[in-house]
Amino acid sequence: MRAILKERLAPGSSERGLGTKIRQRFAGLDSELKIPDRSSEMPRAAEFDS
């Protein structure tokens, strides 16, 4: 069990990172994400009482 953990947790393992996997997963999408303009209003606290 120690040998398996040591192998899997060793720095520089050949397995790709999560960010690389996500980028590969969505690489075929040719879509631009429209980011809305920021508002100049300050954020306000959530109100839970109705």
pLDDT of residue 48: 92
pLDDT confidence bin for 25, thresholds 50/70/90 = confident
Give the percent of the chain with pLDDT over 70: 90
Number of C-beta neighbours around residue 48 at 10 A: 5
What is the SS3 assignment for 46? coil
Number of C-beta neighbours around residue 6 at 10 A: 9
pLDDT of residue 12: 65
Number of C-beta neighbours around residue 49 at 10 A: 3
| Cβ-defined contacts of 40-47 (< 8 Å, 24+) | none
DSSP label at residue 26: T
